[in-house]
Amino acid sequence: MILKNTEKYADTALNSECIPLLPDSKKRSRAGDELQPWGDYATINPYEKIIADVNDVQACEADDEEFYKDEWWGWTNEHIRFLNNKLGLKALALAVPFIWVAIIFVTLFLLFLKSMDWLTYTVEAPDILLAIFLVAGGFGYLALSLYLVYLTTNWVMEKGIGTLIKPFEKFLQKKVDKSIADGMSEFNRVTGQAKFALGKGRYFEAPFIEFDAYVERVVQRGGIFYRLMFIHRYTGKIFNNTWLSGVEASKKEVLALWDMLQRFMDVSQPIPDMPRFEPFRHLDPVTAEHDKKNSRPPRYWRDLDLEAWKANEGAELAKAQAKFPWNQRRCKLTPKLGQVEMEVYRQQRPETAVPI
């Protein structure tokens, strides 16, 4: 990937200081989901995501100092790219170690049962011997299974699978690349557009300002969790199963994610100070000016002592995220709704946007 400066934002880019007039929409409230306001920023970045991203960025740099130049690096000065939760071949690759572990446990368990049958019906061992074998064999089965998992799983992933797929490497790589590209969605800061992958080369593209964000409650076995959900205001299309927002235990982590995403798309604001953006901050004019004014170290996150940060600045961020009055934010977009006729608005939208 070639790094390039953002010379100019498109006329369609989002600017919270001049939100356009928008047509009215149908009922926006949803039972159980919380509609989020537009344009009133807490300027708080998601704490848990920062920790995860620092680990990712530092690990990637340890392997390759120019890791951010790879095409797969999705967060730049121009866009945030992320996968829809549609794994295909990627799911198979992730499942290989679990399948191997299952094979080990099942195979040894069947051998254990076969041994019990042999002792019971062929040898006709006494009950006391069978009881001893059952207890000792059970512990032995568990210990041997765990030992074989420890001993062989890395080899299977690195050598065994690699050897098996070597003749098909180019074919599989093309399939994986196609699968990833087919599931890649994007928020574009320069154009102000949001694009969600629908699969089979199809995309749902519309101005970011046309999407309403909700905090969705997700009921799982461990309780109630939260994630960020997007609904296109004028078609009702729902996008909630993406890798951008996982299921979080803390609702305020999701609120901070929405705050961060808005500020990234808003060209009146500097790019949020998130670890994944760091190698690209100097390429965005608003962000470069902000960083120069505030004397921000260009390698702050990449050189960070994460444990020290969590005990100091991170603790302050977590406290701010927990105590911020999120329910007092005011929506700057709502007063703009119903201020223009739909037919007039349609003529103002980009040609690539879905029809409304």
Please answer whether residues 41 and 263 qualify as being in contact, where contact means their C-beta atoms are separated by less than 8 angstroms: yes
- DSSP letter, residue 33: B
Based on the fold, state whether residues 211 and 147 are members of the same structural domain.
no
Please check the confidence at residue 162 and state whether its pLDDT lies above 50.
yes
**What number of H helices and E strands is found in the chain?**
10, 8
Q: Does residue 239 sit in helix, strand or coil?
A: strand
Residue 162's domain spans which residues? Answer: 89-173
Those residues whose C-beta lies under 8 Å from the C-beta of residue 169, and which sit 6 or more positions away, are: none
Last residue of a domain, one of 154, 173, 192: 173
Based on the fold, state whether residues 218 and 332 are members of the same structural domain.
yes
Exposed (0-12), middle (13-18) or buried (19+): which is 128, by Cβ within 10 Å? Answer: exposed
Based on the fold, state whether residues 191 and 127 are members of the same structural domain.
no
Based on the fold, state whether residues 94 and 143 are members of the same structural domain.
yes
pTM: 0.76
Based on the fold, state whether residues 269 and 201 are members of the same structural domain.
yes
Based on the fold, state whether residues 99 and 74 are members of the same structural domain.
no
Based on the fold, state whether residues 74 and 96 are members of the same structural domain.
no
- 190-218, pLDDT tens digit by residue? 999 999 998 888 899 999 999 999 999 99
pLDDT of residue 163: 60
Chain mean position to CA 98: 22
pLDDT of residue 48: 96
> What span, in angstroms and rounded, lies between the C-alpha atoms of 141 and 144?
5
pLDDT of residue 59: 94
Based on the fold, state whether residues 114 and 155 are members of the same structural domain.
yes
- 72-123, pLDDT tens digit by residue? 899 999 999 987 654 444 455 556 778 888 999 999 999 999 998 888 888 8
Instruction: Return the beta strands (E) in 128-222 as ranges.
Output: 184-188, 193-199, 202-207, 211-220
> What span, in angstroms and rounded, lies between the C-alpha atoms of 243 and 94?
15
| Share above pLDDT 70 across residues of the chain, in percent, rounded to a whole number | 89
Token couple for 62 = 């340890």
- 213-257, pLDDT tens digit by residue? 999 999 888 789 999 999 999 999 999 877 787 789 999 999 999
> What span, in angstroms and rounded, lies between the C-alpha atoms of 60 and 48?
19
Those residues whose C-beta lies under 8 Å from the C-beta of residue 56, and which sit 6 or more positions away, are: 275, 276
Please check the confidence at residue 158 and state whether its pLDDT lies above 90.
no
1 in any annotated domain = no
What's the order of all strands across the beta sheet hosting 238-239?
A: 34-35, 211-220, 223-232, 238-239
- 35-59, pLDDT tens digit by residue? 999 999 999 999 999 999 999 999 9
